[in-house]
Amino acid sequence: MDNLQYNIDFDGSTYEFEFDAERLGKQAKEVFELMSDGQWRTLDEIFAVTGYPPASISARLRDFRKEKFGGHIVERRARGLRHNGLFEYKLRILI
């Protein structure tokens, strides 16, 4: 949990600090804490635990790769047959 700062400004053309910072920080914290166990999970499996939409979860996973969020490694692999398009993700925390 200490490996990610939650008060960092997020970015994007539609990001507005006063409306989005607290919400996105909370999402990042919860997704990071869940994924910090190093288990493989699909976006739907993360949704089942956190309640956050898969698109938001995907964005938070991308954020974790950014230097300002720790520059962690987020691995992705197909679950099952590749042509089915189902992927799972694993967070490798860099200290």
pLDDT at 14: 87
pLDDT at 94: 80
Instruction: Please give the average per-residue pLDDT across 57-70, as a whole number.
Output: 94
* Cβ pair 69, 32 in contact under 8 A: no
Residue 4 clears pLDDT 60, i.e. is over it: no
* Cβ pair 46, 34 in contact under 8 A: yes
- Report residue 16 CA to chain centroid gap: 19
Instruction: Please give the average per-residue pLDDT across 2-26, as a whole number.
Output: 77
Q: Which residues pair with 88 in a beta bridge?
A: 42, 77
Residue 50 clears pLDDT 90, i.e. is over it: yes
Instruction: Please give the average per-residue pLDDT across 27-42, as a whole number.
Output: 97
Rounded to a whole number, what is the distance in angstroms from the first to the last CA of the chain? 11
Mean pLDDT of the chain: 90
How much of the chain, in percent, has pLDDT values that exceed 90? Answer: 74
Three-class secondary structure assignment of the chain: CCCCCCCCCCCCCCCCHHHHHHHHHHHHHHHHHHHCCCCCEEHHHHHHHHCCCHHHHHHHHHHHHCHHHCCCEEEEEECCCHHHCCEEEEEECCC
Give me the architecture of the 17-92 domain, per CATH.
Answer: Orthogonal Bundle (1.10)
> Which pLDDT band holds residue 7 (cuts at 50, 70, 90)?
low
